[in-house]
């Protein structure tokens, strides 16, 4: 047994059973170990941003980390943006990054880089293992770190000689699942529960939900608290995984832009934060506020992301004597007869109506539809129950890889990736992995043929109206991207819709079958 | 005039007149400035690896830096791998990376990251400007750093408030080209020239050429020295820009793999290094040497990359009384009648014969053909004069972006990108920029439908023969990538060749017209 074999066994012992990978020479022993060891599912991505984004999506659905296998510092660099997103999503990931053999580093061969330096910019935990003999201890520490609530990025650099080094013959591999870490939340503060309860008994109080407080049981507690106190419920604009749809408690998202967020918050005198942060602007704009809660509004923190938000909401409901109440704000099922589906020119409301009508039960929606998708929320609250995943770190190129990971984590659920055309291009290689693994993902490209968000931001930052040269930097026409052709080139079934009727037909067909499909929806 | 305007004027003053860009909100003022200021050519990439790789290619051909415009830390992260390659190529680049407004950073909004930490891993020079008032000084320092021989990566973080901040009305913009840095080489060491001359007068001496010693005038001096001393000439395996073809002095490349490199160097007792490094293995392999010069071989350094290699070779030729000699090892033109072009199943020799016969004068060849391309060298020495650019840092995904930058730098020259199918997928978005800018680039995808190099490396590291699961990680079939469809989806003319005859026909047609074309050459 060499170090690489022991590493794969140790990952399995820690409950890590999926590895998203884009390997190179220094990772060949790890790849060879896959032939000798069952149970580790290895999924190839053709670009490292696919690999790290998939690990993010996997964690959000599976609730436990996947591993990535990356090639040296530059390979990690290619995965950095989606690791940033994963970090902001508080997704646990175990990155295994191959490095040169220890005695070769000083030779500074072309691929040598500041691997640990790159890793530290996005990781909560970084270590370079010394040898095959230290690999097991270090891998277990990496898994522990990744599983620390609410989920962390752990990066283990694996020198090639540690992978190929032989271990003593008497050393037996760890058994699968024998070393799964216990989840150790930060202890709740009883005083915080009391303070939150007091605030909620006052009028004009908002219960703002974030990390850990977005799934069905947490929302139900929030709904009970709202039933008792009349408080408002909202979530942060971005949600790592929000349970939505008929039968679920509705907590509307905060808006994206500064002015509507200020307006939405204006009436509140108190905001109780459950895994959420004080509302801030996504970007700063000249002359606009950065902190968006009204002046004098009290911010009461019930939980940080490191706490058990379920337990805190249950304790809060108990404190308010609300545990037995029926939750408020439960969404009713809204159905639409097929003949009532919208037709005509695609717009946000029409697209949302199609989604709402046709999303199957327990679908996973990965939302990077940017401008087009911002207003999908209200129209889809009555859809079949589903989960809604958004790009937490704001670095676009997230949705297609995230959909890959979500589909690997939940093969029985339909995954729908709502994707902007600009965003799609950053990690378009994910389509190939969907085709190779025959994942049940429907990709909808909202093709407005521009970085549409930047047209708004251009004005928002006070830059006026873009002229010819600026417009060139904001548009994706000339030439027009043909996503049907691109998708077919990567082995995916694909079709184009230019009106809502055709979109509803294609989307309905995709929902009724399994396997990967791409729909390019042209938004004029 | 705001900070962004002043920055664009200052870049132009320093001779930076091309900006490869993938902007976001924090860069909108820079984009707006483009509408007000002529002369700055801005080229949009749909992924940041395209942007940074293009800046590398631009420097190699233009001999001066381009700017990049990137969006925050994650955008810089997406460009990191090709910045690694550029650093290894010693290409000067001025990265302008937008950041949040200074007073917004502490709010830790979703896109906030360790921007300087990411930058430091690949940059020689990093600074965050404080305000619009410090921007000019900082931009000039960045340009100076980028132009420091042999070329450096300079990264200037640009907080949004520095871009939008107004400057005093009396402050006039700098005039174009008014502040171009002087190139200050490290002074030559006369003793090094003498020591090199003495070594070259001994038998079994190799003159190994690297940074600064690869263009036509440098090669001619090397050829004169060889004519006088009978020394052998070689170049490093990777060359940032090697002048080749008929009429040029031939210096064969060192091989890639360990064993043939050891064999090629075995006879030498002395190696004189001109901008080159002591030969080392690209990767370490169990039981194989890392340092590849024979035991006891003397290594004599004539120049480091920071020196003026031209001046050093001229001084060396003078010291050897060789300045007036005709250079040795000059390649003769090899022509092939059209009827003698190879046909049949594609293989490396046949492809090289087609290239050699059809490359036009002064073509720029960007080589990331990996396994297929390794042996192209000997067969193309008699082609029309051309430059050969290779991936210096070994991080694949380099060639398509580099071709973009080379074509922007030299619009009158034909650019040929020789690309592996695996490598192509990392930065495939570059095809769109070729189409948008109508660049005169012919892309040849060598489609062996595998990470073919890794099949060799798998055995090379002693991992044996890949089994089913390992093979899955090394192959690109299932599904097969259809590059013709992908390219057309990005607006490129494209065709497929499955035999050498068809390849010669398509390649010949591409050489006879201008504009971007992709040829997928299937290698069975």
pLDDT at A312: 98
pLDDT at B374: 80
Residue B114: CATH number of its domain: 3.40.50.970
More confident residue, A289 or A462: A289
Are residue B396 and residue B261 in the same domain, yes or no? no
pLDDT at A254: 96
A481 touches chain B (CB under 8 A): yes
Compute chain B's Rg from CA coordinates.
24
A263 touches chain B (CB under 8 A): no
Using a CB-CB cut-off of 8 Å, the residues of chain B touching A67 are none
Residue A270 pLDDT grade (very low, low, confident, very high; cuts 50, 70, 90):
very high
* Rounded Cα gap, residues A439 and A431, in angstroms: 10
Residue B187 has a CB neighbour count (10 Å cut-off) of 10
A405 touches chain B (CB under 8 A): no
Tell me whether residue B328 is in a domain. no
Are residue A207 and residue A279 in the same domain, yes or no? yes
CA distance A36 to chain B (A): 9
Contacts 24+ apart (CB under 8 A), A137-141: A139/A7, A139/A10, A139/A11, A139/A14, A139/A94, A140/A10, A140/A13, A140/A14, A140/A179
Residue B212 pLDDT grade (very low, low, confident, very high; cuts 50, 70, 90):
very high
Are residue B345 and residue B426 in the same domain, yes or no? yes
Is the pLDDT at B338 greater than 80, yes or no?
Answer: no
Q: Is A107 exposed, middle or buried (0-12, 13-18, 19+ CB in 10 A)?
A: middle
Nearest CB to B113 within list A47, A84, A473: A84
Is residue A338 a contact partner of residue A500, using CB atoms and an 8 Å limit? no
Three-class secondary structure of residue A512 per DSSP: helix
Per the prediction, chain B carries an average pLDDT of 96
Tell me whether residue A209 is in a domain. yes
Provide the domain count of chain A: 3
Q: In what side-by-side order are the strands of the sheet with A125-128?
A: A41-44, A18-21, A66-71, A93-99, A153-159, A125-128
pLDDT at A456: 87
Q: Which of residues 345-364 of A touch B (CB under 8 A)?
A: none
pLDDT at B28: 94
Coarse DSSP helix, strand, coil percentages of chain A, rounded to the nearest 5 percent: 40, 20, 40
**Per-residue pLDDT tens for A38-55?**
999 999 999 999 999 999
pLDDT at A455: 86
A449 touches chain B (CB under 8 A): no
Residue A313 has a CB neighbour count (10 Å cut-off) of 29
Tell me whether residue B182 is in a domain. no
Q: What is the DSSP letter of B211?
A: T
Are residue B388 and residue B503 in the same domain, yes or no? yes
Using a CB-CB cut-off of 8 Å, the residues of chain A touching B35 are 466-470
Is the pLDDT at B488 greater than 90, yes or no?
Answer: yes
* Rounded Cα gap, residues A498 and A484, in angstroms: 13
Residue B378 pLDDT grade (very low, low, confident, very high; cuts 50, 70, 90):
confident
Residue B283 to residue A114, Cβ atoms within 8 A: no
Nearest CB to B486 within list A26, A466, A489: A489
- Find the mean pLDDT for residues A370-378: 82
B118 touches chain A (CB under 8 A): yes
CB pairs under 8 A between A and B: 310
A107 touches chain B (CB under 8 A): yes
Residue that is last in its domain, among B319, B346, B375? B319
CA distances from residue B248 to B222, B365, B380 in whole angstroms, order as listed: 11, 16, 12
* Rounded Cα gap, residues B421 and B70, in angstroms: 27
Per the prediction, chain A carries an average pLDDT of 96
Tell me whether residue A325 is in a domain. no
Residue B479 to residue A490, Cβ atoms within 8 A: yes
Q: How many CA atoms lie within 13 A of A494 on its CB side?
A: 25
- Find the mean pLDDT for residues A89-93: 98
Are residue A271 and residue A416 in the same domain, yes or no? no
A1 touches chain B (CB under 8 A): no
Using a CB-CB cut-off of 8 Å, the residues of chain B touching A432 are 425, 479, 481
* Rounded Cα gap, residues B9 and B176, in angstroms: 7
- Find the mean pLDDT for residues A271-296: 96
pLDDT at B377: 85
**Per-residue pLDDT tens for A376-393?**
888 899 999 999 999 999
B515 touches chain A (CB under 8 A): no
Residue B121 to residue A121, Cβ atoms within 8 A: yes
Is the pLDDT at A338 greater than 90, yes or no?
Answer: no
Residue that is last in its domain, among A319, A349, A374? A319
pLDDT at B270: 98
Are residue B292 and residue B361 in the same domain, yes or no? no
Are residue A143 and residue A198 in the same domain, yes or no? no
**Sequence-ordered list of residues with C-beta below 8 angstroms from that of B79, at least 6 positions apart, any chain:** B48, B49, B51, B52, B68, B70, B95
Q: In what side-by-side order are the strands of the sheet with A270-274?
A: A232-235, A205-209, A270-274, A298-303
Residue with tokens 């460009």: B79
* Rounded Cα gap, residues B144 and A61, in angstroms: 49
Is residue B99 a contact partner of residue B105, using CB atoms and an 8 Å limit? yes
Residue B276: CATH number of its domain: 3.40.50.1220
- Find the mean pLDDT for residues B205-223: 98
Measure the CA angle with vertex A508, ends A506 and A510; round to 5°: 70
CA distance A335 to chain B (A): 35
Tell me whether residue A358 is in a domain. yes
Nearest CB to B80 within list A77, A432, A464: A77
Tell me whether residue B325 is in a domain. no
Using a CB-CB cut-off of 8 Å, the residues of chain B touching A470 are 31-32, 34-35
pLDDT at A435: 98
CA distance B312 to chain A (A): 25
B30 touches chain A (CB under 8 A): no
pLDDT at A275: 98
pLDDT at B282: 94
Using a CB-CB cut-off of 8 Å, the residues of chain B touching A73 are 84, 121
**Per-residue pLDDT tens for B192-201?**
999 999 999 9
Are residue A11 and residue A139 in the same domain, yes or no? yes
Residue A372 pLDDT grade (very low, low, confident, very high; cuts 50, 70, 90):
confident
Q: In this structure, what token pair is assigned to residue A325?
A: 């109440």
* Rounded Cα gap, residues A513 and A494, in angstroms: 14
B476 closest CA partner among A19, A435, A443, A17: A435
Residue B464 has a CB neighbour count (10 Å cut-off) of 12
Using a CB-CB cut-off of 8 Å, the residues of chain A touching B426 are 46-47, 78, 429
CA pseudo-torsion sign B242, B247, B251, B256: positive
Using a CB-CB cut-off of 8 Å, the residues of chain B touching A96 are none
Residue A470 to residue B109, Cβ atoms within 8 A: no
Residue B512 has a CB neighbour count (10 Å cut-off) of 10
A140 touches chain B (CB under 8 A): no
Are residue A356 and residue A484 in the same domain, yes or no? yes
Ranking A275-289, A447-461, A489-503, B132-146 by mean pLDDT, the lowest is A447-461
Measure the CA angle with vertex B343, ends B340 and B348; round to 5°: 100
Residue with tokens 């390219």: B487
Q: Give the 3-state DSSP-derived string for A234-250, with helices as H, strands as E and coil as C.
A: EECCCCCCEEECCCCEC
**Per-residue pLDDT tens for B395-422?**
999 999 999 999 999 999 999 999 999 9
Tell me whether residue B291 is in a domain. yes
Are residue A378 and residue A445 in the same domain, yes or no? yes
Phi-psi sector, A394: left (phi>0), alpha (psi -120 to 50), beta: left
Measure the CA angle with vertex A141, ends A139 and A144; round to 5°: 110
Q: Is B340 exposed, middle or buried (0-12, 13-18, 19+ CB in 10 A)?
A: exposed
Are residue B310 and residue B349 in the same domain, yes or no? no
Q: Which of residues 56-85 of A touch B (CB under 8 A)?
A: 72-75, 77-78, 80-81, 84-85
Residue A106 has a CB neighbour count (10 Å cut-off) of 11
Residue A120 pLDDT grade (very low, low, confident, very high; cuts 50, 70, 90):
very high
Nearest CB to B28 within list A284, A461, A486: A461
Axis crossing angle, helix B48-62 with helix B399-409, rounded to the nearest 10:
50
Nearest CB to A463 within list B32, B100, B284: B32
A300 closest CA partner among A269, A271, A275, A265: A271
Is residue B262 a contact partner of residue B291, using CB atoms and an 8 Å limit? no
pLDDT at A453: 85
Are residue B456 and residue B356 in the same domain, yes or no? yes
Residue that is last in its domain, among B319, B353, B373? B319
pLDDT at B376: 86
Q: Which of residues 265-294 of B touch A (CB under 8 A)?
A: 277, 280-284, 286, 290-291
Q: Which of residues 151-210 of B touch A (CB under 8 A)?
A: 160-161, 164
Tell me whether residue B177 is in a domain. no
Residue with tokens 């064999």: B263
Domain range for A415:
338-522
B465 touches chain A (CB under 8 A): no
CA distance A22 to chain B (A): 8
* Rounded Cα gap, residues B370 and B392, in angstroms: 12
B46 closest CA partner among B406, B333, B323, B429: B429
CA distances from residue B406 to A231, B64, B366, B420 in whole angstroms, order as listed: 61, 12, 9, 19
Using a CB-CB cut-off of 8 Å, the residues of chain A touching B165 are none
CA distance B462 to chain A (A): 8
Overall pTM > 0.95: yes
């Amino acid at each position: 047994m060499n170090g690489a074999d022991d590493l794969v066994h140790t990952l399995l012992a820690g409950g890590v059973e999926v590895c998203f990978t884009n390997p190179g020479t220094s990772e060949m022993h790890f790849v060879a170990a896959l032939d000798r060891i069952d149970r580790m599912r290895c999924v190839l991505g053709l670009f490292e941003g696919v690999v790290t984004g998939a690990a993010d999506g996997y964690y959000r659905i599976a609730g436990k980390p996947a591993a990535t296998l990356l090639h040296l510092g530059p390979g990690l660099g290619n995965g950095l943006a989606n690791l940033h997103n994963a970090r902001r999503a508080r997704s646990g990931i175990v990155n295994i990054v191959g490095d040169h053999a220890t005695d070769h580093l000083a030779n500074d061969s072309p691929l040598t880089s500041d691997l640990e330096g790159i890793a530290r910019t996005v990781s909560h935990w970084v270590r370079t293992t010394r040898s095959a003999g230290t690999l097991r201890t270090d891998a277990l520490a990496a898994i522990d770190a990744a599983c620390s609530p609410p989920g962390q990025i752990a990066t283990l650099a694996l020198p090639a000689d540690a992978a190929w080094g032989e271990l003593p013959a008497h050393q037996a591999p760890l058994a699968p699942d024998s070393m799964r870490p216990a989840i150790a939340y930060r202890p709740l503060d009883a005083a915080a529960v009391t303070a939150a309860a007091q605030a909620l008994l006052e009028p004009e109080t908002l219960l703002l939900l974030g990390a850990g407080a977005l799934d069905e049981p947490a929302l139900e507690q929030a709904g009970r608290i709202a039933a008792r106190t009349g408080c408002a419920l909202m979530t942060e604009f971005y949600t790592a995984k929000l349970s939505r749809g008929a039968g679920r408690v509705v907590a509307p998202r905060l808006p994206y832009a500064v002015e509507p967020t200020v307006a939405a918050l204006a009436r509140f005198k108190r905001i109780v934060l459950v895994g959420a942060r004080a509302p801030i602007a996504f970007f700063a704009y000249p002359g606009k506020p950065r902190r968006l809660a009204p002046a004098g509004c009290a911010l009461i923190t019930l939980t940080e992301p490191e706490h058990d938000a379920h337990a805190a909401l249950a304790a809060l409901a108990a404190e308010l004597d609300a545990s037995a109440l029926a939750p408020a704000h439960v969404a009713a099922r809204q159905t639409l007869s097929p003949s009532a589906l919208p037709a005509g020119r695609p717009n946000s409301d029409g697209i949302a109506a199609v989604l709402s009508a046709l999303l199957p039960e327990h679908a996973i929606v990965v939302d990077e539809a940017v401008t087009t998708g911002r207003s999908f929320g209200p129209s889809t609250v009555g859809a079949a129950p589903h989960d809604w995943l958004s790009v937490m770190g704001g670095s676009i190129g997230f949705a297609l890889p995230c959909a890959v990971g979500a589909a690997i984590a939940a093969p029985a659920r339909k995954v729908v990736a709502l994707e902007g055309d600009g965003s799609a291009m950053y990690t378009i290689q994910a389509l190939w992995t969907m085709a190779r693994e025959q994942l049940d993902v429907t990709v909808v490209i909202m093709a407005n043929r521009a970085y549409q968000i930047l047209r708004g931001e251009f004005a928002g930052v006070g830059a006026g109206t873009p002229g010819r040269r600026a417009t060139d930097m904001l548009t994706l026409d000339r030439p027009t991207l043909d996503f049907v052709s691109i998708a077919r080139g990567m082995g995916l079934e694909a079709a184009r819709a230019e009106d809502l009727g055709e979109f509803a037909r294609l989307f309905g067909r995709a929902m009724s079958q399994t396997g990967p499909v791409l729909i390019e929806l042209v938004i004029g």
